[in-house]
Amino acid sequence: MDGLTHRPTQNPDHSVPPLETGLNDIDISYDSGSEHDDNLDEDTSNLEVFLSQEKHFFILSTAGKPIYSLHGDDNMIMSYMGVLLTIISFFQGQSHDTDNSDQLRSFTAGNSLFVASYEDPLILVAISKRGESEQQLRNQIDVLYTQILSTLTKSQISRVFKGRTNFDLRRLLGGTEKFLTALTREICKGSPPILLSALECAKLPRTIREKITTILLSHKSPSLLYGLVVSDSRLVSVIRPRKHSLHPPDLLLLFNMIFHTTAFRDGEEHWVPICLPKFNSTGFLYAHIFQFSKNSVLVLISADKDAFFELRTVKDNILKSLRRDNLIKPIELAVNNGFSFRTIDIPVPHIRHFLYKSKLDVQFIMPNIEPHFFPTTSSRKALMGYYHKLHAMVHAKNGGKLKMVYFTKGSATFFGCDSPTFELYFATGPDTTKAILTLSVRAILAWVSKNKERLFIMGGGVF
Amino acid sequence: MSHRKKAMLKIVILGDSGVGKTSLIRQYVDNKFSTQYKATIGADFFNRELQVDDHTVKMQLWDTAGQERFQSLGVAFYRGADCCVLVYDVNNPKSFEALKAWRDEFLVQANPRDPETFPFVVVGNKVDIEDNNKRVSTKRAQAFCRANGNMPYFETSAKEAIGVEAAFEVIARNALSQAESEDYNEDFTDAINIHLDSDKSPCMC
Ligand SMILES: Nc1nc2c(ncn2[C@@H]2O[C@H](COP(=O)(O)OP(=O)(O)OP(=O)(O)O)[C@@H](O)[C@H]2O)c(=O)[nH]1
Ligand SMILES: [Mg+2]
């Protein structure tokens, strides 16, 4: 039990790892073919491969029964879960507090950072050699936890474990493990929406978006709670009641299920119970999901589980209107083959890629990742790694001072800043001076502000 | 983790130091035996898959250290177990007399919903060692098991692989029925009552 000798970090909030960690030897082994959900574990069934993985996610019950693991087969992870629980309980055993304050939160071993999160009766663990911060890993496991809640609801989980700590939760998760797998796959790619906890919107002319929103509103039915048009994981339009908002973490789950698995994109109508945990973790809503063109999906959500036929009519009417007004083509064009917008379209020289998050809207934008700057999967993944590093640096709590950072790495300079209203990260040419960086920031901000209405959904349609 | 139909069973193995807990598991899992004694430190974890009637079960075997109680690990170890195996050395009466304490400790720590029916299995190990006048008689062991909730009793030798398979088959069977005894309510009717004009502050969109 080597693990028992590790101490928890003294100050869990201040654990930005050394800057060089893990970014140069980024592993691309599970980056291909997001459609093949079940192949992920095939080559990880031997212990050496298992232990050499850059990232691990484990979800277990407080009895140590496995619920989910990114890598490894059952035989491997069953023992591993026991060891994890032992390490975690060793520290729990040291304190008699009930407020969880003395629980093991994180530690480092070699170049691995270990982060644990307790959501009684579940324990979630992330282990990474990739140099993310503790906060970033914690955010990643929270996304996975939210996914489990969205399948089962918090009340149902508490109910099945009540007086039955031996419960095997995998009995209830059934086929929904593929959603967890899709999520972990996105996390491993360095998903910007998960890093930024923000939604990406499809860039559309204001008039087009307004027309779509007006159509959604005009066909609203009594039990409709939310209506969304989503294209290739990007929000096109949304309508909602005045008193109820939609929470980006909930939508991230929804988008993940729709666009990173094949479950809902078969041209069929789907009617699924779904818990949106940030909206209400105790119960289910019901979503009517229908893919109406190559990349685009209409989602109609109701609290009434008998509203299927009502929402089907709403769907038919909305699609009729979208077709009549020739609105489907512009939506598809906006996201065609993953297309967003291009860095050369914005008047900022040398910029290779950027992420801009509007904090107020909880939305972010990014241009295409241009193949001539980032030709390989590993270079794209490295870019996301640098974004994580910048993000960790500007969010590190070291006196609240460091709000703007940059460094040169190889043939590029990476810049990040965090302000009260936005976050901006970008990659530009090597050895760019501070003065040039400042000009670039100004130019990007000016461009964003000029195009705000095309880039972001400001409020959406409200009824 | 694609074998989700297989029941996952947590089995905790308790007993004094040196009675052969680790040896029994090794014999059962790997068909291996070593005469060398290496005390278990903290805990070890083993698995084995087994067919029980028409179920495939995966046994997660939690091998504990007999030498110390490792009290700080107690609750986590015992929590959510589906079966507890109490092991003693038939040639060591002290290890037999300790069974009651191990059982009580387990019940306190694991706090199962129904302690009366929680499955224990008692294993008297090292029956291959002959001519020992201190030996705990089968009769005495059986009487103890009867008096403490009718626990099934097995005599084994980890060394000679006697009785090991049979003991673990009953362990698996009893663990499985424990895991499936308490039915849960699998309906998805947690509907949310939405009041479209209730007072909730909007956050985005
Ligand atoms: N002759 C004989 N020796 C055995 C048998 N089972 C175990 N032993 C020996 O007994 C000693 C202790 O066995 P272990 O399996 O390590 O005992 P344990 O219960 O795991 O001990 P702790 O880990 O300290 O709790 C070893 O030297 C084994 O070789 C058996 O069936 N017959
Ligand atoms: Mg041992």
Please tell me the distance between residue A430's alpha carbon and the centre of ligand 2 in angstroms.
59
Please provide residue B128's backbone torsions phi and psi, each rounded to the nearest 5 degrees.
-70, -20
Q: How confident is the model at residue B182 (pLDDT cuts 50, 70, 90)?
A: low
Report yes or no: B40 at the A interface, CB cutoff 8 Å: no
Q: How confident is the model at residue A8 (pLDDT cuts 50, 70, 90)?
A: very low
Question: Which residue is closest in CA terms to ligand 1's atom 2?
Answer: B126
DSSP character string of A88-150: HHHHHTT---SSSTTS--EEEETTEEEEEEEETTEEEEEEESS---HHHHHHHHHHHHHHHHH
Question: CA of A58: which chain B residue's CA is closest?
Answer: B1
How many other β-carbons are positioned within 10 Å of the β-carbon of residue B117?
11
* Helix/strand/coil for B86: strand
Ordered by where they begin, the domains of chain A are: 38-195 (3.30.450.70), 200-337 (3.30.450.30), 343-455 (3.30.450)
**Residue B194 pLDDT more than 50?**
yes
Residue with more model confidence, A161 or B199: A161
Ligand nearest to the CA of B34: 1
pLDDT at site A227 = 94
Ligand nearest to the CA of B87: 1
Give contacts of B185 with chain A, Cβ < 8 Å: 159
Give contacts of A92 with chain B, Cβ < 8 Å: 76
Looking at the CA of residue B129, tell me the nearest atom of ligand 1: 1
Give contacts of B196 with chain A, Cβ < 8 Å: 225, 241, 243-244
Ordered by where they begin, the domains of chain B are: 5-196 (3.40.50.300)
How far CA A187 is from CA of A381, A449, B33, in Å, comes to 11, 29, 44
Cβ < 6 A, ligand 1 pocket: B 15, 17-23, 34-37, 39-40, 65-67, 125-126, 128-129, 157-159
Q: Which of A2-6, A34-38, A158-162, A353-357 has the lowest mean pLDDT?
A: A2-6
Q: Determine the average pLDDT of the residues in B112-126.
A: 93
Please provide residue A4's backbone torsions phi and psi, each rounded to the nearest 5 degrees.
-70, -15
Q: How far apart are CA B156 and CA B164, in angstroms?
A: 6
Q: What is the ipTM of this complex?
A: 0.80
Cβ-contact B71, B5 below 8 angstroms: no
Task: Inspect the interface and report whether the beta carbons of A245 and B197 lie closer than 8 Å.
Answer: no
Q: How confident is the model at residue B84 (pLDDT cuts 50, 70, 90)?
A: very high
Ligand nearest to the CA of B164: 1
Q: How confident is the model at residue B193 (pLDDT cuts 50, 70, 90)?
A: low
Cβ-contact A325, A317 below 8 angstroms: no
pLDDT at site A109 = 82
Interacting residues of B148 by C-beta distance below 8 A, sequence separation 6+: B100, B103, B120
Task: Inspect the interface and report whether the beta carbons of A82 and B60 lie closer than 8 Å.
Answer: yes
Q: Determine the average pLDDT of the residues in A4-25.
A: 31
Interacting residues of B48 by C-beta distance below 8 A, sequence separation 6+: B28, B29, B58, B59, B61, B168
The interface residues of chain A toward chain B in range 291-330, judged by CB-CB distance below 8 A, are: 303-305
Cβ-contact B93, B68 below 8 angstroms: no
Which amino acid makes up residue B142? Q
pLDDT at site A119 = 87
Q: How close is the nearest chain B Cα to the Cα of A119, in Å?
A: 15
Please tell me the distance between residue A76's alpha carbon and the centre of ligand 1 in angstroms.
25
Q: At what angle do helices A248-259 and A177-189 cross, to 10 degrees?
A: 100
How many other β-carbons are positioned within 10 Å of the β-carbon of residue A368?
16
The closest CB to that of A66, out of B1, B188, B197, belongs to: B1
The per-residue pLDDT for range A398-413, each reduced to its tens digit, is: 655 558 888 988 888 9
How far CA B118 is from CA of A159, A323, A370, B81, B85, in Å, comes to 21, 64, 62, 10, 11
The closest CB to that of B45, out of A62, A83, A283, belongs to: A83
* Helix/strand/coil for A239: strand
The interface residues of chain A toward chain B in range 129-168, judged by CB-CB distance below 8 A, are: 153, 155-156, 159-160, 163-168
pLDDT at site A425 = 96
Task: Inspect the interface and report whether the beta carbons of B205 and A165 lie closer than 8 Å.
Answer: no
Q: What is the mean pLDDT of chain B?
A: 84
Task: Inspect the interface and report whether the beta carbons of A64 and B76 lie closer than 8 Å.
Answer: yes
Cβ-contact B98, B88 below 8 angstroms: yes
Query: Which of B14, B27, B30, B37 for a ligand 1 pocket mutation test, highest count of atoms within 8 Å of Cβ?
Result: B37
**Residue B205 pLDDT more than 70?**
no
Angle at alpha carbon of residue A248, lines to A245 and A249, rounded to 5°: 120
Q: Determine the average pLDDT of the residues in A379-399.
A: 87
Cβ-contact A259, A274 below 8 angstroms: no
The closest CB to that of B203, out of A238, A247, A283, belongs to: A247
Please provide residue A295's backbone torsions phi and psi, each rounded to the nearest 5 degrees.
-110, 0
Q: Determine the average pLDDT of the residues in B72-81.
A: 78
Task: Inspect the interface and report whether the beta carbons of B204 and A155 lie closer than 8 Å.
Answer: no
Task: Inspect the interface and report whether the beta carbons of B204 and A361 lie closer than 8 Å.
Answer: yes
Ligand nearest to the CA of B44: 2
How many other β-carbons are positioned within 10 Å of the β-carbon of residue B53?
7
Report yes or no: B6 at the A interface, CB cutoff 8 Å: yes
Cis status of the peptide bond prior to A121, with omega within 30 of 0: yes
Q: Which of B3, B8, B75 would best serve as a mutation to test chain A binding (most A beta carbons within 10 A)? A: B8
pLDDT at site A31 = 29
Q: For residue A344, what are its two tokens?
A: 């050369």
The interface residues of chain B toward chain A in range 102-161, judged by CB-CB distance below 8 A, are: 113
Q: How close is the nearest chain B Cα to the Cα of A243, in Å?
A: 6
> Residues of chain B with pLDDT > 90: what percent?
60
Looking at the CA of residue B16, tell me the nearest atom of ligand 1: 25
Give contacts of A244 with chain B, Cβ < 8 Å: 194, 196, 200, 202
Looking at the CA of residue B156, tell me the nearest atom of ligand 1: 31
Q: How confident is the model at residue B191 (pLDDT cuts 50, 70, 90)?
A: low
Q: How far apart are CA A318 and CA A210, in angstroms?
A: 14
Please tell me the distance between residue A220's alpha carbon and the centre of ligand 2 in angstroms.
67
Q: Determine the average pLDDT of the residues in A210-220.
A: 93
Please tell me the distance between residue B45's alpha carbon and the centre of ligand 1 in angstroms.
17
Q: pTM for the full model?
A: 0.83
> Residues of chain A with pLDDT > 90: what percent?
36
Q: Which of B45, B54, B42 lies closest to B26, judged by CA?
A: B45
Give contacts of B184 with chain A, Cβ < 8 Å: 159-160, 164, 167
Task: Inspect the interface and report whether the beta carbons of A164 and B113 lie closer than 8 Å.
Answer: yes
